[in-house]
Structure 1
Amino acid sequence: MTVLAREQEPGSTFVVHPGADGAGVVRRTVLPGGLRIVTETVPTVRSVAFGIWAGVGSRDESIEDAGASHYLEHLLFKGTRKRTALEISSLMDAAGGEMNAFTAKEYTCYYARVLDSDMPLAIDVVSDMVTNSLIEPQDVDAERGVILEEIAMHDDDPTDAVHDEFSAALFGDTPLGRPILGTVESISGVGRDRIARYYRERYVPQNLVVSAAGNVDHDEVVRLVQAAFEGVLGDAAQLPTAPRIGGPGASPAAGVRSIVRPTEQANLILGTVGITRTDERRFALGVLNAALGGGMSSRLFQEIREKRGLAYSVYSYNSQYADTGIFGVYAGCLPAKVDEVLEICRDEVAKVAEHGITEEELERGKGQLRGSFVLGLEDTGSRMSRIGKSELVYDSLLSVDDILGRIEAVTLDDVRTVGREILGRPMTMTVIGPFEGRDFTL
């Protein structure tokens, strides 16, 4: 394990992981003002993925600010003091690059992937967007309509909506229980001044991480980022930053949330609170998840789809946050089959909670985790995401070998113990479908 140097002196460079034969070297530099830069060298490729991570997401929002993090994600593409929105997109298109952003519960990321020769352009454009956005009133009004359309599109897809409804059922009216996109009411009511203030408070250097992976030279990245952030960097102690809203809030409790819609398919999630992202048991829970519903050989897939043909899509999943998590089972089936599908899901969850998994499932789960992790690092974008997210939300950056070793070290007892604790908890259920008058609490 390589611990990130949190007390590193501004301007100094720290080798987080030495790599091998010049590849996989991860370096870290802290600039004045607290801006952190991490890079991973992959000299065998001709591309660079560059990202800026902001430590702000939907769980940092008050009720009045609901949806502000995602709103900002849209607005930062609308123009800066140096470039119009068209110039931003034209520059990246002319270079054959790709640029985008995403907002999560606990962070927001703006990124670009370009040829290595176009890295200075990517750094300049993305940094300019993050540090010099104008947040013009006319852009706020125009983008409001776009976001309302996005909310409508999301709500029209029950396979998406059921996950938001499940979070609301599990965490209640708390930041983690609210949708990332915000609501029609919150987006319709928020004004330019509130969003601009949110931007000024949250997008400060000590709350940002710059990450780059590919055919990069760390010192060059530092030089280009420092030039792009000119005038923004300063003494971190003098820069205000708003506090996080806090923990998940209301204590999760078992219950049923039924949303009546005239859909052709019922969409349901059965689940409970999981573990935090830094919990050492996350590797054992990952193996359990693979065995229960993580692939075509998993118990849920075999019992519900292969043997009985009751559903096309069925899987289990786990999500981790700073102070809590989610473990859930999803299934989409014909409304007439929902009772049978739900019964099988409950039975399989109960069996794993009581008896754990088999030796064969253990080895298969380990192999699935190892393969998906390593294959996921085959492109520069995933490597950039790994080091950027690790710097932002973890206390350490585990090397690839460290992670593979921890997966391999998982035992049947480890899986049984975490399964008994997580799956033995009272379950919350959310279902969307044509169930007028149906009481699922029975």
Structure 2
Amino acid sequence: TYLYELPNGLRIVFTPTAKSGIVYCGFLIGTGSRYESEKDNGMAHFIEHSLFKGTQKRSSGKILTRLESVGGELNAFTMREKTCFYAISLKQYFERAVDLLTDLVFNPLFPENELEKEKKVIIEEIEMYEDNPEETIYDEFTGLLFNNHPLGHNILGKIETVSNFRRDDVVNFWKSFYYPGNMIFSVVGSISFRKLENIINKYLLILKDASPENEFVSVGNYEPFRHTKDKDYQQVQVILGNRAYPLKEKKRIVLSLINNILGGDWMSSRLNVILREKHAFAYNISSGYNAYLDSGSFTIQYGTDIQYLDKSISLVSKELKKLRENKLSSFELNRAKRQMLSQYAMYRENYGLVMQNQARNLMDLGYVLSKHEYFKMVNHIDAMAVLETVNDVMDEKEMSLLIYKNRQKLSSEIKK
């Protein structure tokens, strides 16, 4: 992996591949929903959409067809602290991909008529997510967990905020964050370093840096909560969790392992076995750990029938208590490590994810985590570290709970 920085502040990370005829590249920008004010909620995501609506030399139609006409892909996504624009193409069209990405990220027009149309599109997206109980309860829980701090903002924003966006506000937000010193350009593919350098010098070296002053607001204190709300969903939705470790905390690797054991992407995870396989109380149950610059979140989430609500919460609580009070056996710890290392090995075969994650590493940590370093971190985890981390993050008194109930279904169950 090659790392270097241009005079304008743009950092480049490049990992060559031996066999693939595909090149993955993208800009990672240090902005997301946590950098929005209350009235600007949804702005980072709105700009992500709006950059596809025309530049100084391309219409929106030409942006959409420029790569697709040669079988490539152009896309973007917004997170709480980052936004990513990426392209996938055959290596002979790599220069076309870089040209297109650079144009839409640095030369947007933000045409008024297109912005008004995009507001309607995003409002439809918000309404679509509001019809999804898993998404809705997760977003509300995250907002409560971070106690109205922007880190807990809904990434899509609210209908009332998106409806009131003005072009001047959009342009000002874009100028505040879309500059080379706040970005990483990441490339993975079977191209030579010389070719990459030539293309970077042609399209990226000429970009001008800026130095806007953006305020970073740290998250405040956390107070555990327990709320039950009436919602018009068929299932009861349950989510419980706590704040967790930030990106640079060494114990985050231990929490990732615990997350795998509890409710990761394995049918043999503890919570899946106990709630689904043994008791048939849920179709899907998962846990998740998200790390941010100065905080993090750990959650357990599932849907169940109203008659199983109390029993299912009790079973989850018992599993957490077991982890808090008992060291993992050598067998289970070693199995969990093997699972994590296998996941990492499979991830390394997905060059699109490698392109994104090496950019995140560089932005968050200042370096790209190597396979050797990752394996060393995982193999270094011991049972005592797991026990301490579980008691730190999953302390029963510090866990919060949010439940969505359907009042009508509850009434019918009582009548039975």
Query: What band does the TM-score fall into relative to the shorter chain?
Result: over 0.9
| 1:281-320 superposed Cα distances (whole Å, 9 cap, x missing partner) | 1221122112222221121111111111110101211111
Counterpart residue identity of residue 47, structure 2: L
Residue 48 of structure 2 is aligned to residue 73 of structure 1: yes
Q: Which moved more, 1:218-227 or 1:285-294?
A: 218-227
Query: How far has the Cα of 1:64 moved from its partner?
Result: 2.1
Say which SS state the counterpart of residue 370 (structure 1) adopts.
helix
Match among 326, 329, 334 for residue 363 of structure 1: 334
Corresponding residue of 1:171: 146
Q: Which residue of 2 aligns with 1:332?
A: 303
RMSD: 1.6
**Partner in structure 1 of residue 10 of structure 2:** 35
Work out whether 1:426 is the aligned partner of 2:401.
no
- The one-letter amino acid of 1:429's match is L
- Preserved CA contact (<8 Å) 1:47 1:380: no
Farther-moved stretch of structure 1 (387-396 vs 64-73): 387-396
Q: What is the Cα deviation at residue 261 of structure 1? A: 1.5
Task: Please give the alpha-carbon distance, in whole angstroms, between the structure 2 residues aligned to 1:142 and 1:257.
Answer: 37
Aligned match of 1:200 in 175, 198, 201? 175
Paired residue secondary structure (2:348): coil
Equivalences, count: 408
What is the aligned partner in structure 2 of residue 374 from structure 1? 345
Tell me whether 1:256 sits opposite 2:226 in the alignment.
yes
Q: Does 1:300 align with 2:275?
A: no
Change (3 A) 1:226 1:426: same
Q: Give the superposition deviation at 1:231.
A: 4.9
Q: CA deviation at 1:437?
A: 12
Listed as ranges, the matches of 1:61-210 within 5 Å are 61-210=36-185
Q: Which amino acid aligns with 1:191?
A: R
Over residues 222-251 of structure 1, what are the superposed CA-to-partner deviations in whole Å (9 max), with x where a residue is unaligned? 3323322465325xxxx23232432123x2
2: distance between equivalents of 1:79 and 1:257? 45
Deviation readout 1:366-409 (Å, 9 max, x if unpaired)? 11111111101212211111211111111322211110121111
Q: How does 1:236-251 map to 2 (within 5 A)?
A: 239-249=210-220, 251=221
Query: What letter is aligned with 1:276?
Result: P
Which residue is 2:414 aligned to? none
Match of 1:268 in 2: 238
SS in 1 for 2:216: coil
* Other-structure match for 1:410: 381
- SS for the counterpart of 1:253 is coil
Structure 1, unpaired ranges of 5+:
1-25
Q: Which has the higher helix share?
A: 2
Given that 1:38 and 1:211 are in contact with CA atoms closer than 8 Å, whether structure 2 keeps it comes out as yes
Cα shift readout 1:27-75 (whole Å, capped 9, x = no counterpart): 1221122011110000211100010011001101111221110000000
Instruction: Provide closer, same or farther for how the CA distance between residues 244 and 226 of structure 1 changes in structure 2, counting only shifts above 3 A.
Output: farther
Q: Which amino acid aligns with 2:225?
A: G
Q: How far 1:436 sits from its partner (Å)?
A: 7.0
| Percent of pairs with identical residues | 29
Cα distance in 1, alignment partners of residues 240 and 105 from structure 2: 39
**CA distance in structure 2 between the partners assigned to 1:48 and 1:84 by the alignment:** 25
Is the contact made by 1:49 and 1:111 (CA closer than 8 Å) also made in structure 2?
yes
For residue 287 of structure 2, give the secondary structure of its aligned residue in structure 1.
Answer: strand
Name stretches of at least 5 consecutive residues in structure 2 with no aligned partner.
411-416
Q: Partner residue of 1:342?
A: 313
Separation of aligned partners in 2, 1:386 and 1:143: 29
